[in-house]
Amino acid sequence: MRTPDDPFAEAYGNISHMTPGTRVLNIAASYMPVLRKLPFPRVVEINEARKSISRRATQLVRERQAQTISRKDILNIMIEENRKSRGTLSETEVVDQIMTFLLAGHETTSVAVALRRCSL
């Protein structure tokens, strides 16, 4: 079980936390992508969170690739299928996919918990 102060959960929380300023920045950056490269505090915070998530996801992928025990989870299934197809996905692509699955799981869980709290 993970705790709320887990660095992974904290990084995803930092990325998904929206303030009015963040919303404006996101809209403006859609038209001027260079804004995502400027050292605004929020941009720096999001970039650091992304790096943290990427490092941990890479570590997870490498650990699982080194294991010989087969598990029935999404990461192992992806790694096994990639091995069968002779590595059509690079490590970076596998890491990106896992980061997407983790974000989707984080968001789904966050919404479910928030809705549960509202209904109590």
Own/partner long-range contacts of 89-92 (Cβ < 8 Å, ≥24 apart): 91/58, 91/61, 91/62
Q: pLDDT per residue over 2-38, tens digit each?
A: 566 777 778 877 887 888 888 888 899 899 999 888 8
pLDDT for res 1: 45
Distance from the first to the final alpha carbon of the chain: 23
CA 30 to each of CA 35, 36, 72: distance values in angstroms, whole numbers, following the listed order = 9, 9, 39
Share of the chain above pLDDT 90, in %: 8
Residue 54 has pLDDT above 80, yes or no: yes
pLDDT higher than 50, residue 42: yes
Tokens 């996919």 belong to which residue?
Answer: 97
Judged by DSSP in three states, 90 sits in coil
Determine the pLDDT at residue 2: 52
Question: Whole-model pTM?
Answer: 0.70
